[in-house]
Chains A and B, each alone.
Chain A
């Protein structure tokens, strides 16, 4: 049977359960996490339903479609260039005002939007009253309520995608930018048709927002006169970017008026109570030190338990290999066993430690604690001349430099990022510490061993303070 392919893009703010929706829908094993840059790799999953196959691309979590970060640029380029049939926007029902900001931008790029209204259980917990039907009518966008963590509403989401794809009749409400409309129109008139596939209105808005990428694009593709004319229009008022953002929020406010009701006194959830302590300048710091110490302690002690059986297994395999290869010349066998296999086995013997360490790291990340850690450590990191977000890549670097360096992309400023990348590669990762501790245990007494190890780990950090 020939299946009909529907190309779907999954968009949403960070922390709205977008990755959870993706995982639940596609069943693909994918990393769910808390900080931007996570899903910067393109994740694609498939859903089979009747005669359709949905090809779902999980785009990175973003707050807007400006050129603020790599993730935002990736997302908007994907929507414009790859032209997915349907874009599913996952929004956090309990923070609609902020989440709909992305919708207001998405709307300029494509009309084919479906909203997955996620975490409606939180909405109830917070005692918010939301008239979904009315919201749907006002936005003219289909809305499917979901609780992704429990798998609720996801079938309906898939059905809606198919329905919308077949009927192809979406025409969501547009946003009126007030007195900016005149300038938008003027710019649109000057712009040529089909500028790299970007919609004209969107380019005009981006110019008013002073988007550097779009400014470059126009500069390079327009005649000098046209460019000068356009430049004059959008540079006329330096408040334009804020006006655009404000117009979007005003639009959202109007849409939500009478649709969303919040209680006078907001209930404090247990996570907020916990947050009070986790982000507290004193208790938060104590907790941070405890957690980081505990993770390192547990990683090493659990590794001690596991390393012996693993080493035993590895040498057993070595012996077996050696007896299996009885037919080849001695010198040749020894090269293979003592050289090649030993080399591989040494690397494999690090597996338990790295696995355990990354498990804890994933736990910290998944629970959202890494974000709190970044907040608490911000002051200290600034003293080191680093950004507050640096602690996460630094901590990861102790496990392995590679993901540590990769994690530096959460830093927006290029200078900060490069500094951290350089610093990161000097952090002794766990395998390096193991090699170092091996030599230290041979060359030094047991008591001086720990001091030397700590010195080895921290002296480079100390160097960077000065």
Chain B
């Protein structure tokens, strides 16, 4: 990303977790999927309103930090989570 980016209070971007960039911070808005999947994620601490940071991206899976722990999520799961990105981690 180039130079100065929008400050806080600027328009916030909503994207899929899988589309987040490395280092970006955001808040989970919603999770789409079956009950089992949603409960599993909820138990891992990924619930709507929770703050997450994208730590690493690979060919498919991502690593996020949530509640002080790094978690690896497969592509399939990462696609079902919508995040409101609040901080691109560069400032």
Contacts and interface: CB of A to CB of B under 8 A. Distances in A.
Interface of A: 63-64, 66, 68, 94-98, 101, 209-210, 238, 241-242, 245-246, 249, 275-276, 279-281, 284, 371, 374-376, 378-380, 382, 387-388
Nearest to B42: A245
Given A97-B68, A98-B68, A279-B63, A375 B58 contact: yes
A375 B72 contact: yes
B43 A95 contact: no
A63 B56 contact: no
27 contacts: A94-B68, A95-B68, A96-B68, A97-B45, A97-B67, A97-B68, A98-B44, A101-B45, A210-B35, A210-B36, A210-B39, A242-B42, A245-B42, A249-B47, A275-B55, A275-B56, A279-B63, A371-B72, A375-B58, A375-B63, A376-B58, A379-B59, A379-B75, A382-B75, A387-B74, A388-B61, A388-B74
Contacts of A380: 59
A238 B60 CA distance: 30
Interface size class, chain B: 20 to 34
A241 B42 contact: yes
A97 B47 CA distance: 13
B7 interface: no
Contact of A68 (B40, B67, B69): B40
A249 B68 CA distance: 14
Nearest to A102: B43
B14 interface: no
B60 A379 contact: yes
Contacts of A246: 42, 47
A379 B38 contact: no
B18 to A, nearest CB: 12
A76 B57 CA distance: 35
Given A97-B45, A249-B45, A388-B74, A379 B39 contact: no
A461 B30 CA distance: 39
Contacts of A238: 35
B43 A63 contact: yes
A95 B61 contact: no
Contacts of B45: 97-98, 101, 249
A209 B47 CA distance: 15
Contact of A378 (B40, B44, B47, B58): B58
Shortest 6 CB-CB contacts between residues of A and residues of B: A379-B59, A245-B42, A379-B60, A95-B68, A241-B39, A378-B61
Contacts of B72: 371, 374-375, 378
B67 A379 contact: no
Given A238-B35, A245-B42, A388-B60, 6 more contacts: A66-B40, A210-B35, A245-B43, A279-B56, A376-B58, A380-B59
Nearest to B76: A382
Contacts of A209: 39
Contact of B60 (A64, A275, A279, A382): A382
Interface string B25-54: 000000000011011101111010000000
Scoring B35, B42, B70 by chain A CB atoms within 10 A of each residue's CB, the highest score goes to B42
A98 B44 CA distance: 7
A284 B57 CA distance: 11
Contacts of B39: 66, 209-210, 241-242, 245
Nearest to B63: A279
B48 to A, nearest CB: 8
Contacts of B57: 281
A208 B72 CA distance: 28
B63 A66 contact: no
B36 to A, nearest CB: 8
